[in-house]
Amino acid sequence: MTERVVLAYSGGLDTSVAIGWIAEATGAEVVAVAVDVGQGGEDMEMIRQRALDCGAVEAYVADARDEFADEYCMPALKANGLYLDRYPLVSAISRPVIVKHMVRAARQFGAQTVAHGCTGKGNDQVRFEVATTSLAPDLKTIAPVRDLALTREKAIDYAEKHDLPIATTKKNPFSIDQNVWGRAVETGFLEDIWNEPTKDVYSYTDDPTFPPVADEVVVTFDGGVPVALDGVAVSPLQAIMEMNRRAGAQGVGRIDIVEDRLVGIKSREVYEAPGAMALIAAHQELENVTLEREQARFKKGVEQRWSELVYDGMWFSPLKKNLDVFVDETQKYVSGDIRMVLHGGRATVTGRRSDAALYDFNLATYDEGDSFDQSHAKGFIEIYGLAAKQAAARDERFGNGVDFGTGDL
């Protein structure tokens, strides 16, 4: 039986050429796998047919938009997933679902190898390959661009020579990856980190400099997941898409960052994630209302580690699975409404309400009706500061007290 290779297929020039390139280099038949995670663009049936026209023996096409939103975007939302506190893991969370379908196709069509179109400099090669070995350690992986010397120039020559049904002359100045959670843009003139992004960089967001009239939205959460917008029930996918539209119209979610890639390179990336950033802002504020103090403080560290693991391609790792259990437990009471105003590039929370709130008006108020017994405060402060008081007394005994003449205070 002829060996088969499952290729992650986007429908673009490089992966279209990779079908024949892999076949010639390895003698294997190629099965193309295209996964819709809300990236928009061409119809998936057209992409399926293009793969077959370019020489694939089979074409596996999956509509994974709801799966992606439910099983990947929502965990990222619950974890407030932000790499370097800013990047909402747009590409990082899409790779595991794509690999899941690649492995499924490999089993279905009897393939022994999977392939992707990543270079040897980026994060995605790690995400694809570690996810593959985590789900199917018996499968081998090849990368035509990295392993089989498939450059863009060679791809254009190959496509023209073999008359492949793919455009070869138009070259976008940027490298773009997008899905329903957001859009990532890099390369071209953006590689000079002094250069300001031009208007053509952006697609998901309008210019926030001249915004339309402010848009007020109420996001309803149940267990950390958005279930309604302005009282209208929505699925996770619908919530993201609608917030992409409304927050994007206000220029919310533009991110320009120099980040640390897993391979050790610093890289300048421009992201657009209007829905993701607005929903994360709403979710964070609802957690402020519903999470107990120590629980919330500890979760901050978990969120950072969770985001690092996901960015580094460890979605299916044991530690990430363990952290998921903790995050899910924290979401038990993260239910209620957050009112936000979207305007001029900002998503500003203006109201919160929850039946599970730990905020108590009678404890918080300074006006009549205050139920907080202030007489308890003196003793609390005495005990709370006792350890620091003892340490300060010891410093004084050993001549290490504060020198009030040197500006220490």
User: Using an 8 Å Cβ cutoff, are 140 and 112 in contact?
Assistant: yes
Residues in binding site for L-citrulline: 87, 123, 127, 175, 259, 271
Tell me, yes or no, if 256 is annotated catalytic.
no
- Chain centroid to CA 133: how far? 21
Distance CA 188, CA 225 (A): 37
Instruction: Starting at the earlier edge strand, list the strands of the sheet with 182-186.
Output: 175-179, 182-186, 266-272, 254-260
Tell me, yes or no, if 175 is annotated catalytic.
yes
> Mind listing the domains of the chain with CATH numbers?
4-171 (3.40.50.620), 176-291+334-353 (3.90.1260.10), 361-397 (1.20.5.470)
Residues in binding site for ATP: 8-16, 117
Is the pLDDT higher at 158 or at 127? 127
Beta-carbon contacts of 340 under 8 Å, excluding residues fewer than 6 positions away, are 216, 217, 218, 219, 278, 281, 282, 347, 348, 349, 350
DSSP 196: P
Ramachandran angles phi, psi of 250, nearest 5°? -100, 5
SS3 category, 232: strand
| Among 163-172, 290-299, 309-318, the least confident range | 163-172
pLDDT of res. 366: 83
Residues in binding site for L-aspartate: 119, 123-124
Q: Side chain identity at 38, as an amino acid letter?
A: G
> Quick one: which H or E segment has residue 18?
helix 13-26
Tell me, yes or no, if 134 is annotated catalytic.
no
Q: Give the tens place of pLDDT for each residue, 92-128.
A: 999 999 999 999 999 999 999 999 999 888 899 999 9
SS3 category, 142: strand
| Among 185-189, 247-251, 277-281, the least confident range | 185-189
What pLDDT band is residue 400 in, cutting at 50, 70 and 90?
very high
pLDDT of res. 174: 83
Distance CA 225, CA 334 (A): 8
Beta-carbon contacts of 228 under 8 Å, excluding residues fewer than 6 positions away, are 219, 220, 234
Question: Considering 4, 36, 124, 307, which one is annotated as catalytic?
Answer: 124
Residue 41 clears pLDDT 90, i.e. is over it: no
Percent of the chain with pLDDT over 70: 97
Tell me, yes or no, if 203 is annotated catalytic.
no
Distance CA 326, CA 303 (A): 10
What pLDDT band is residue 407 in, cutting at 50, 70 and 90?
low
Phi-psi region of 344 (alpha: psi -120 to 50; beta: other; left: phi over 0): left
Beta-carbon contacts of 66 under 8 Å, excluding residues fewer than 6 positions away, are 235, 236, 237
Question: Considering 48, 50, 65, 95, which one is annotated as catalytic?
Answer: 95
In this prediction, residues 288-315 reach a mean pLDDT of 98
Distance CA 348, CA 12 (A): 39
CA–CA–CA angle 279, 283, 286 (5° rounding):
145
Distance CA 52, CA 31 (A): 9
Distance CA 36, CA 180 (A): 10
Residue 303 clears pLDDT 80, i.e. is over it: yes
pLDDT of res. 255: 98
Distance CA 302, CA 81 (A): 10
Question: Considering 4, 14, 254, 312, which one is annotated as catalytic?
Answer: 14
Residues in binding site: 8-16, 87, 117, 119, 123-124, 127, 175, 259, 271
Question: Considering 134, 175, 235, 317, which one is annotated as catalytic?
Answer: 175
pLDDT of res. 365: 78
